[in-house]
Structures are given as C-alpha cells and as structure tokens.
Structure 1
Amino acid sequence: MQQSALSTIGLPLALAIIMLGLGLHLRLDDFRRILKQPKAMLVGLACQALLLPALCLGLSKLWGLPGSLAVGMMLLAASPGGITANLYSHLFKGDVALNISLTAINSVTAIVSIPLIVNFSLLHFMGNQQVIPLQFQKTLEVMLLILLPVGLGMLVHARFPAFAQRMDKPVKIASALVLVLMILLILQREWALVVANFQQVGSAALVFNLASLLVGYGAGQLARLSEGQSRAIAFEIGIHNGTLAIYLALAVLNDGGMAIPAAIYSLLMFCTAALFGFWVARKG
C-alpha cells in the first residue's frame, strides 16, 4: 500500500485524539496504584504481556494465516487497551480504577513490547521476504505518538481538573467516532483484501477476541480476585487499541494487509464485549 493522507495524517491524528482522551483520565496515582494492588495488576499485566501474544501466535498458526495477516494479528496482541475498555468496565461494574491503572502501565510498556513482538512476528511469519523491521526511528515515532498526547492529557487533568471532567464525555464520543471512521475508511480502501481474506482472518479475529475476554476473566477468577477486578482485566485485554495496530500497519510498516485483522477486530469487539458484559452481569 502506498503512503496516503489517511496513513500519514488521518491515522496519527486519530490516534493522538484517542491517547489524549486516555490521558484526561490518568493521574500519577494511577501509576502508584500498582503498589497498592500488586496482585490484580500483576495478573492483568501478565495476561497482556505473556498470555495474549502466545494465544495469538497459536491461533495464527492454527488458522494457517499468510504472513501479512499473521503479523496483523500479532499487532493486535501487542496493542494495549484503551478508553473503550474503561467504558465497558464502567458499564458492566468492573473495577474501573484497576482498568485505568492497567491501561496506563500497558501504554508505557508497549513502547518496549511492541517493537519486540513486531520484529519477532516479521521474522517468524515472513522470514526472508522483503520486509522492513520496526527500526529505532519508527519506534521513537510510536513512543512520541503515545506519550505526548497522554502526557498532555494528564497535564490538563492535573492543572484543570474541572475542565478535564467536562471534556470527559465529549472526548469519549469523539474517540469512538474517530475510531469507527478510521475503520470504515480502512475497510473501504482495502475492500478487495478484506473480501478475499474475511472468511479466514475474520473467524481468527473473532476467536481471538472471545478467547482474550475469557482468558482475562478466567485468570482473575483463578487468582481469587474480586468479581469487579476479574471483569476489569477481561475488558482490558479483550478490547485492544485497534487504531494503534492499524497505524503501525499502514504508517509504519506500509502494509494494508496487516491492517485488516485490526479493522475487523475493532468492529467485532463492540458487539462481543457487550455480549460478554451481559453474560458476566447475569452470572454475577
């Protein structure tokens, strides 16, 4: 796929808006909370850093996905949660404070984990093909695109808490609309690839989404965490920042095929997360 205004301007702007909205929720106390809730935090971080990449790797190999689609799936596994996960946790009585803390930590650790997972995936699934690894310059761009908007949002929260609170709902709505718009634009632009690969990668993305939700919830239950904490972990690792994965695929790796799993996943997760939320609410 050739560079376009969508990949060079639209996606970075969309991602910046979403990360700014995330920053408006965060305080330094959210990072300190890991010391106060070490067990729940460690379970959530272990699911994100270890279980999800392993699960996604296994599914990609089991489905026999071709190189670009397999790397696209791994981009999803590497991408942290976001404000959508926090919203679902709020709607279905999860521990929102735990969600926010996990999102904060995962967003920072993604700076290290994403290059590692992406470069491993490129080598593992695409081997000696002509691929461009996620090099230091691109890694630095991703770091800045994540940290600067989040840092700005945190600064606004700290200096102007009333304004940050007023902006909470509008930014959430704007983030959701931007996410949906970007997904629709990607699907329209890459429609031929989507149609050609939907049956194969669509089912893999759906299974990965459902498995992520269940793994997060089950890990919390096995660790004897509270019901709210288990739900928070499920939403955190089951609802990924699809915009980040799409940005990496299009603007960094310049491969439209790699964006397809994230685009399909991002559409599916709104429905599956809601169904999962109603299930755990009824179960509870």
Structure 2
Amino acid sequence: MENLEIVTLVNTVIVPICLFFIMMGMGLTLVTDDFKRVLKYPKAVGIGLTNQLLLLPVIGFALANIMPLEPEYAVGVMLLALCPGGTTSNLFTYLAKGDVALSVTMTAIASIITVFSIPIVLSLSLIHFMGEGSEFQLPILKTVITLILLTIIPISIGMLVKRFAPTFADNSQRYVSRFGVIFLSFLVLFLCYVQRSTIVEAFFATGPVSLLLNLSTMALGYYTSKWFGLNLAQRTSVTLEVGLQNSTLSIFMALSLFANYKMSITPAIYTLIMFLTAGILVRVFSAKYHKRQKIEIENGVLASRQL
C-alpha cells in the first residue's frame, strides 16, 4: 500500500511538477529574437524541424511495426518519436561546441507545434497498435490542454523572467538544465526499480528498437545537414536535436495519461542509450571543432606571414 502511494505520488505530482520546471528552464534561455531566427536562418531551422517533426515520427512508426514489439512497447516508441527535443539536447549541443542558439530555437518551436500534433498522431497510433476497442483512449482536447499547461505555459513564464530579470535567468537556467538531466536519470532508475521483475526482459525487447531509432535519426540529422551545406556547428545542433528526445515528456504521458508503466519502458531504455551515444558524439564533434579551429589559426598565421 505504501509503495502504491509512492508510485501514485511520482506519477501524478512529482513528474508533472518537475517537467513544468524543466520546461520553464528552457524558457529562461529564450527571447523573442530566437523565434525570428527562423527567418534569419531558414535553411538550418527548416532542415532540423523537418527531421524532427516529420521524418522522425515516420521512422519511429516504421520501426515500431517492423520490430517484434508488444503493443505497449510500440506505443512507447511513438511517444518518443512524437516528442520534441528537450533541454538535454541543448545541453549536449553546448558541450559538443554546436550552435546552441539554433538548438534552442528548434526545441522551442517544436515544443509549441507538438502540443497540437502529439494528441492527434498518438491517438491514431493507439488505435493502430492497441486496437479500436482498447482500454487506452486519448481525449484529444484534454491532452492538448495538459500539454499547453506543461510546455507552453512554463516556457512563457521562463521567457518573462528572462525579459524582466535577465541576470537571474542566466544564472538560473544552467542549474535548471542540469536538474533536467539529473531528474531524468533518477526517473529512469525509478522506473527500472518499479519494473524490476521484468526489466531485463524489457531491456532485450526494447533495447534494439531504441538503439536503431537513436542511431538512424542522428544519422539522418547529420547527413541531411551535410547534404544541404550546413556548417559544422549547425550539423552538430541538428544531429543532437533529432537524436535526443524529451524523454521526460514521453514518460510523463505514459505514466499520467495512460497510467501504464510498460509504455514508459521504451523511453526509459532510450534515455540510457541516448546518454551513451550523445556522450560519444560530444567527444567526436568537440574534436572536429578543435581540429578545425587549429587549422583556421594555422592558416591565419600563414596568411599573415605571406603578407
């Protein structure tokens, strides 16, 4: 009984409150000019958002159908694929020497658009994977309102704080961003504990599809960016933005909207994998950045000597 109360508290109170603060932390990094960056750099933003909002769900849906998954695990894949990038992608972009402003812009715009796209596509996904008469129903209007309360409202509050107390916002957002990563890590551990009797089986069931989703979307982000001539910093941002999803939001939807731990396992396993692959990419992109910087410095010294 006591364990049930703790689980209920986590599902209905702790996760929504923490998600609210994490999204507010994103708002602390935003100003209105960030949204104007769409007009200033339409190609980079367009490539990133096309990958994030269109191609990622298509890949997720294809993998969920191709891989031998139980229906709840397949829905978990769609929960991931439909979510925008989160503060995690912004943090890893910063560590990888990518274009942080571009990353933040893509995350913010995608967070607003997905408020309206998630309920519709997720509702269709439930029917496809769980069946027409499934016990899991998604009231679209209620879901939109819930997502607005947990994404657009806190982002807007964060932007207001940034507008009227910029020093406080700058000092606070780095801690909120780190809190997001730490909380997500603890949330994954909590889910593993709750599902400890089946976690090994779940890992073998959802690990391959999570790895494929992560690697394929990162490759998609990198190569489409390269093909369209984006610079290294922009390629880094798009790669990480498409490959690192807002796992906290997808886990929240599994736990709070469906009260189903099995649906949350795929996002939880994906989180462990994305931390690993993102850590590797941070080293790779940082090395590329420093190598390019060194070449530019050497070329500058050589040019000055020739003059």
Deviation per residue, 1:38-74 (Å, 9 max, x gap): 1111111100111101111111122121111001001
| In structure 2, C-alpha distance between the alignment counterparts of 1:96 and 1:283, rounded to whole Å | 16
Q: Which residue of 2 aligns with 1:82?
A: 86
1:185-200 paired onto structure 2 within 5 Å: 185-200=190-205
**Secondary structure in 1 aligned to 2:197?**
helix
Aligned AA for 1:279?
Answer: V
Aligned AA for 1:101?
Answer: T
2:32 is the alignment partner of 1:28: yes
| In structure 2, C-alpha distance between the alignment counterparts of 1:46 and 1:177, rounded to whole Å | 29
Deviation at 1:151, TM superposition (A): 0.9
CA contact 1:33–1:101 (8 Å) conserved in 2? yes
Aligned AA for 1:233?
Answer: V
Query: Residue 274 of structure 1 is aligned with which of 261, 273, 279?
Result: 279
Q: Which residue of 2 aligns with 1:11?
A: 15
Q: Which residue of 2 aligns with 1:45?
A: 49
Percent pairwise identity: 36
Q: Which residue of 2 aligns with 1:68?
A: 72
2:249 is the alignment partner of 1:213: no
| In structure 2, C-alpha distance between the alignment counterparts of 1:4 and 1:213, rounded to whole Å | 35
CA contact 1:134–1:253 (8 Å) conserved in 2? no
Range moving further from structure 2, 1-10 or 12-21: 1-10
Structure 1 residues 7 and 26, CA, compared in 2 at 3 Å: closer, same or farther?
same
2:139 is the alignment partner of 1:146: no
| In structure 1, C-alpha distance between the alignment counterparts of 2:94 and 2:22, rounded to whole Å | 18
TM-score (norm 2): 0.88
**Secondary structure in 2 aligned to 1:192?**
coil
Deviation at 1:282, TM superposition (A): 4.0
Q: Which residue of 2 aligns with 1:249?
A: 254
Deviation at 1:236, TM superposition (A): 0.6
CA contact 1:18–1:175 (8 Å) conserved in 2? yes
| In structure 2, C-alpha distance between the alignment counterparts of 1:222 and 1:193, rounded to whole Å | 43
| Alignment: residue pair count | 284
**Secondary structure in 2 aligned to 1:65?**
coil
Q: Which residue of 1 aligns with 2:103?
A: 99
Q: Structure 2: any 5+ residue segments left out of the alignment?
A: 290-307
Q: Structure 1: any 5+ residue segments left out of the alignment?
A: none
Larger Rg: 2
Deviation per residue, 1:157-190 (Å, 9 max, x gap): 0100011111122222222221112121122112
CA contact 1:65–1:200 (8 Å) conserved in 2? yes
Deviation at 1:245, TM superposition (A): 0.1
Range moving further from structure 2, 202-211 or 123-132: 123-132
Range moving further from structure 2, 152-161 or 182-191: 182-191
Aligned AA for 1:46?
Answer: T
Q: Which residue of 2 aligns with 1:179?
A: 184
Deviation per residue, 1:132-168 (Å, 9 max, x gap): 1243113211211111111111111010001111112
Structure 1 residues 26 and 115, CA, compared in 2 at 3 Å: closer, same or farther?
same
**Secondary structure in 1 aligned to 2:186?**
helix
Q: Which runs of 4+ in 1 moved over 6 A?
A: none
Structure 1 residues 108 and 211, CA, compared in 2 at 3 Å: closer, same or farther?
same
| In structure 2, C-alpha distance between the alignment counterparts of 1:169 and 1:105, rounded to whole Å | 20
| In structure 2, C-alpha distance between the alignment counterparts of 1:179 and 1:113, rounded to whole Å | 24
| In structure 2, C-alpha distance between the alignment counterparts of 1:21 and 1:89, rounded to whole Å | 16
1:106-121 paired onto structure 2 within 5 Å: 106-121=110-125
RMSD: 1.6
| In structure 2, C-alpha distance between the alignment counterparts of 1:192 and 1:47, rounded to whole Å | 37
Q: Which residue of 2 aligns with 1:123?
A: 127
Range moving further from structure 2, 73-82 or 176-185: 176-185
| In structure 1, C-alpha distance between the alignment counterparts of 2:122 and 2:139, rounded to whole Å | 7
| In structure 2, C-alpha distance between the alignment counterparts of 1:45 and 1:220, rounded to whole Å | 12
| In structure 1, C-alpha distance between the alignment counterparts of 2:200 and 2:122, rounded to whole Å | 25
Deviation at 1:283, TM superposition (A): 5.0
Range moving further from structure 2, 116-125 or 185-194: 185-194
TM-score (norm 1): 0.95
